[in-house]
Structure 1
Amino acid sequence: MIINTREEIIELTQEWKGERLEDGRPKVPDVYLDKLRTMTLEEIWLPLYVKGYHFQYEGGMKHLHNEKKLVGRAVTCTFMPIRPDLAKVVRNQGEKKGWEGFFNQWVVDNLGNGDVVVADMFDKVYNGTFVGGNLTTAIRVKTGNGGAVIWGGIRDIEQMKKIDTQVFYRGIDPTPIRECVLTDLNGACRIGSAVCLPGDIVMGTESGLLFIPSHLVEDVINSAEKTHAKDIFGFEMLEKGIYTTAAIDNSVWNLEMMERLIDFVEKDDRCKKYRGLDWSLELGAAKGDPKCLEEVLKTCLV
């Protein structure tokens, strides 16, 4: 009901068809997480946006460490102001599982490698400090290179800054967490204007936060890699005066440009990691195939 079961999490994330973690969350392969660490948020945001996912970004948060990217699998939780009868129900659920401590400790105690806490604290900073020095240390130990996103407060920031774990948060306050109750663990969670599901891939950079639906991770990475390859090629062509900026910026490249691009990718060492990309859709569009043109234009922000 409040602590979602494996079956409930699977139903909530039914678009994911791959392997799952023990709790039921999608297990996006580590290789994709590694690739995301080399990409920018903007490169990933665009293919999500054109697919209709318009509420995956939030830019109104602070972060603990500069120039440290956060990438990991979401463990979501939602809190509300305290209500005694509700808190009793939630505590009973936790006690049946043998969980101890306050509700935020339950969440941290259930983290695994590569996880990121995504906590909606209803923007509560005073008495809403989800993590401090101790829990940030625990997150570091349990998740490795994971972290936390807190739509609320943190405390002990001087201690936290000494810990190599990225945390996004709304504000700082010396008060401990109190007067709130966990109402959902591993359910749909709102962070500002963004929506996150359990197992989404959290991407946090200097540009803000992006919550990538698990079933779209491979697609958006593929799109971003194509953009990388085209950028390398495009800059080279512009420097040599072979193509104009208008030609490079065109949503659909002509056949001569596409064939030159594919040859460039195969021969230029800067594009070595992009040599396995499938360009058949773009080639079809270049040849004027209506279906290919339609699909390519769907990936463009117009």
Structure 2
Amino acid sequence: MKFDNPEDIIQLTPLWEGERFSNGRPKVSEDVLKRMRKITLEEAWGPLWNRGYTFQFEGDFKIIHPDKIMVGRAVTAVMVPKRPDLHETLLNYGHEQEGRKGFFNQWVIDSLVEDDVVVVDMFDKVHLGTYVGGNLSTAISTRTKRGGAVVWGGIRDNQQVVEIEDINIYYRGSDPTAITDVTMVGMNVPTRIGKAICLPGDIVLGTPSGVIFIPPHLAELTVVQAEKSQVRDIFGFIRLKEGVYSTAQIDTAWTLDMWQDFMNWFDNDPTAAEYRHLSWEKELAEAQKSDSSGSNHDVRL
């Protein structure tokens, strides 16, 4: 076996058609990452759930900075309890054949680049299972700039880690012991985090409620749908305060007249300026079709 094998990563992510890193990991654009930081957990969850991705969220974590949002591209790792023959074989292979330095967790952190998030299945081990402490968390900050880590296991040096402001870490528990008696059996492979699954290159959205893993081929679609929901809500709040529409009108299918009202507001009101990269052709076409047929179908995505 090989760690961080490009052929395996490409095979695991066939639906991604965009740019990739040299190891084959999908590289969702910086623009999408930036926009992802402005959406809520529920806005990200809906498009995934509706497409059959029902095991992407896990919320049973402690959080270093519970008031901060974390967004980045996943770099995954799978750890298992130590079995001496397997442990020595894989550790020696990494050192001798792949030129890696230090212990397994250092291999993963040494591979990080800007906007990465470490996602590691530590099989919920906390005592003697502290994947990062002060030093490695500092290294994550230096390499990722604003990324972090999701650890289904332990961390240490919390008093030091909490002082690192530009990253976030989701973890199961704290312990003063160092990591030991564990072996990494996969790097950038499918990784189970509680009841969720994460693949290399998934977009990790960490919120106060927990973490959701967004497949790269659905990342832009998820952001677009979230942004459309946000700007429609802004318009709805304004019109409700003005007494133009009732809550029933806002919360159900919009008529063609309402869509025309919205588009006029969208094109001219300064409040909508940051959303003007969005296209509404599909929604308008559906509204026109419904109007001409006399039916009224909701065209929310």
Q: TM-score, normalised by structure 1?
A: 0.94
Structure 2 CA distance, aligned partners of 1:111 and 1:294?
46
Q: Pick one of 237, 240, 243 that aligns with 1:238.
A: 240
Is this contact kept in 1: 2:254–2:298, CA < 8 A? no
Contact 2:74 2:199 survives alignment (8 Å): yes
Q: Distance in 1 between matches of 2:29 and 2:37?
A: 13
CA distances 1:58-110 after superposition (whole Å, capped 9, x unpaired): 11101101322111110000111111121122113211111121111111111
Matches for 1:87-106 after TM superposition, within 5 Å? 87-95=87-95, 96-106=97-107
SS in structure 2 of the partner of residue 134 of structure 1: helix
Q: Are residues 1:205 and 2:207 paired?
A: yes
CA distance in 2, matches of 1:255, 1:43: 25
Residue 296 of structure 1 deviates from its aligned partner by: 4.1
Amino acid corresponding to residue 117 of structure 1 in structure 2:
V
Q: Which runs of 4+ in 1 moved over 3 A?
A: 293-297
What is the match of residue 161 of structure 2? 160
Q: Choose which of 196, 215, 223 in structure 2 pairs with 1:194.
A: 196
Q: Provide the residue aligned with 1:112 in structure 2.
A: 113
| Unaligned segments of structure 1, at least 5 residues | none
Q: What code does the residue aligned with 2:157 have? A: D
Q: Distance in 1 between matches of 2:156 and 2:249?
A: 52
CA offsets 1:193-229 (integer angstroms, 9 cap, x no match): 1111100011101121111110111101110111111
1:2, 1:90 within 8 Å by CA — same for their partners in 2?
no
Which residue of structure 1 aligns with residue 41 of structure 2? 41
- Quickly say closer, same or farther: Cα 1:262–1:231, change in 2 above 3 A: same
Tell me the distance in 2 between the aligned counterparts of 1:59 and 1:78.
Answer: 19
Question: RMSD of aligned C-alpha atoms?
Answer: 1.6
Q: Distance in 2 between matches of 1:145 and 1:269?
A: 30
Would the aligned equivalents of 2:287 and 2:299 in 1 still touch at CA under 8 Å? no
**Quick one: which amino acid aligns to residue 49 of structure 2?**
Y
How many equivalent residue pairs?
Answer: 295
SS of the residue 1:100 aligns to: coil
What are the equivalent positions in structure 2 for 1:255-266 lying under 5 Å apart?
255-266=256-267
Cα distance in structure 2, aligned partners of 1:295 and 1:267? 24
Point out where structure 2 has 5 or more consecutive residues left out of the alignment: none
- Equivalents in 2 of 1:88, 1:68: separation in Å? 39
Shift of 1:276: 2.8
Q: TM-score, normalised by structure 2?
A: 0.94
Identity within the alignment, % = 49
Amino acid at match of 1:216: L
